[in-house]
A and B are shown apart, each in its own frame.
Chain A
């Protein structure tokens, strides 16, 4: 076949920006002619893009793998849920959810980010369990194991736009970081933390910044998701599978890149919609298998493979 993928990619690259613009316009107009079901599906896709991009900010750039990232999602969900039942408007409640998530990130990050990478990962592994326990424990506030119900509201379209804005914002943020010296410094932590320290980079401070930034969007979309679902319980907002999915999306698409998490989110979300509903456990076995395959065969994900093979720039 006389068709060189590299050449093709380069030629198509010129169409990327305008193409993206068209896609954005279509997405903005979609609720006008789309079905309610379609809106809800896309809304969830936006949510996953926001989650994956956020996880990429800490784990993809600094190499500090956060196994408990769903904690921020759940924190945002509960914060917003509680506020909404107290009469606060849901957009504000969602932002408050984001703020609480950032505070939680600071509380956890302050002690845990002093640890070296693998130890940090271990500490984060336990985080899920602790938070789930905490949500059950503070029953008065959170409704405990029985869950928390929000007053009913049909806000799907508005949540759709809100989620879309967050997803776009995190992508823009990622682009800004990856093309800046701040981003380079984050990457040196991943490349060689000892050398980074020796070269004057206060790695602890940069790790904290990245961690805080990575918690904001999950907090906000957690709050938005709470509004959308109308009902939250510990098991639904702190499920391990959410973290697993975030991780797989980013690993598969390409960690440390700008569009890798988006690519991974789109592909895996599509897959999830088809398989998950019917075979949840088989789906998770597959997620595990994907992680194994990616780690062994393509550690830099799809975009990483393309970058290496066709010498694409790092900032894609």
Chain B
């Protein structure tokens, strides 16, 4: 399978702190990847650098063979990368449907249909006209998730999709993620819930203190001494 995302020696500093210190990784199209590491290891910062929300200090990011580092977030989005956030970022004063429709350009009618299709997909169609701010945590999470799917991106970055979500909803989300992979999408998710990571991801990257500690299938990572040390202390 071709490499869809390539990160080479990415460095990001905040004042005196180096949040990401020369991280490199390569994602093959059509697989589910996990990104784990203790708190503060630089996972979200890495996401932010890939999606252009933070400007990297050094290193390169290539998507489908073209460099995307230095591009603005909305440009990266249009290249085909979508993401969700650690803290839910729906637009509270827009309805669920509007949250979805605002993302696409072009034909309004087609946008409306796609929005309703996705709402049905996660069984939220009856809340289409509810202000997103009034939805429950789990419902907002789902809206944020399907919002990312509105333009059918090829690479989807999920930042802690399982956080604060009950088991049933979580299983639905995970099924949706697998369905996406089966359709050829690539998914990279940051997650703390090890069961989710181990059950879902084909390859896992481990970050610690901004550096890539290990990389490999979940089973191998689980028993890697360095990984255990990073999580449970020295």
Contact = CB atoms under 8 A, between A and B. Distances in A.
Interface of A: 181, 184-185, 187-188, 190-192, 194-203, 314
8 contacts: A181-B101, A181-B102, A188-B91, A188-B94, A190-B93, A194-B73, A195-B89, A199-B82
Interface string B95-118: 000100111000010010000000
B91 A187 contact: yes
B44 to A, nearest CB: 12
Contact of B73 (A185, A187, A190, A198): A198
Contacts of B92: 191
B158 to A, nearest CB: 13
A198 B82 CA distance: 8
Contacts of A184: 94, 98, 101-102
A191 B72 CA distance: 19
Given A181-B101, A184-B101, A200 B151 contact: yes
What DSSP secondary structure best describes chain B's contact surface?
Answer: loop
Contacts of A195: 85, 89-91
B174 interface: no
A202 B53 CA distance: 13
Contact of B93 (A191, A196, A198, A203): A191
Contacts of A198: 51, 53, 73-74, 77, 83, 85, 89
B128 to A, nearest CB: 14
Contacts of B98: 184
A201 B74 contact: yes
B94 to A, nearest CB: 6
A185 B102 CA distance: 6
A202 B108 contact: no
A36 B31 CA distance: 76
Contacts of B91: 187-188, 191-192, 195-196
A200 B147 CA distance: 11
A201 B89 contact: no
Contacts of A194: 53, 73, 89
Contacts, number: 61
A199 B103 contact: yes
B78 interface: yes
A187 B72 CA distance: 20
Contacts of A185: 102
Contacts of B108: 181
A192 B53 CA distance: 13
Contacts of A200: 74, 77-78, 103, 151
A125 B77 CA distance: 34
Contacts of A191: 91-94
A181 B105 CA distance: 9
Contacts of B102: 181, 184-185, 188, 199, 201
A58 B197 CA distance: 44
Nearest to B51: A198
Nearest to A203: B74
A267 B80 CA distance: 49
Contacts of A181: 101-102, 108, 111
A203 B82 CA distance: 17
A201 B105 CA distance: 10
Q: Which 6 A-B pairs have the closest CB atoms?
A: A200-B77, A195-B89, A197-B73, A191-B91, A184-B102, A202-B74
Contacts of B51: 198
Interface string B185-201: 00000000000000000
B89 A197 contact: no
Contacts of A201: 74, 102-103
B76 to A, nearest CB: 8
B72 A314 contact: no
Contacts of B93: 187, 190-191, 314
B138 to A, nearest CB: 18
Contacts of B94: 184, 187-188, 191
B212 to A, nearest CB: 24
A117 to B, nearest CB: 16
A187 B90 CA distance: 12
Given A191-B91, A195-B91, 14 more contacts: A184-B101, A185-B102, A188-B91, A190-B93, A194-B53, A197-B74, A197-B77, A198-B51, A198-B85, A198-B89, A199-B102, A199-B103, A201-B102, A202-B72
B101 A197 contact: no
A314 to B, nearest CB: 7
A154 B40 CA distance: 71
A313 to B, nearest CB: 10
A163 to B, nearest CB: 32
A188 B102 CA distance: 8
B57 to A, nearest CB: 20
A184 B100 CA distance: 11
Nearest to B103: A199
Interface in B58-77: 72-74, 77
Contacts of B82: 199
Nearest to A300: B93
Nearest to A204: B72
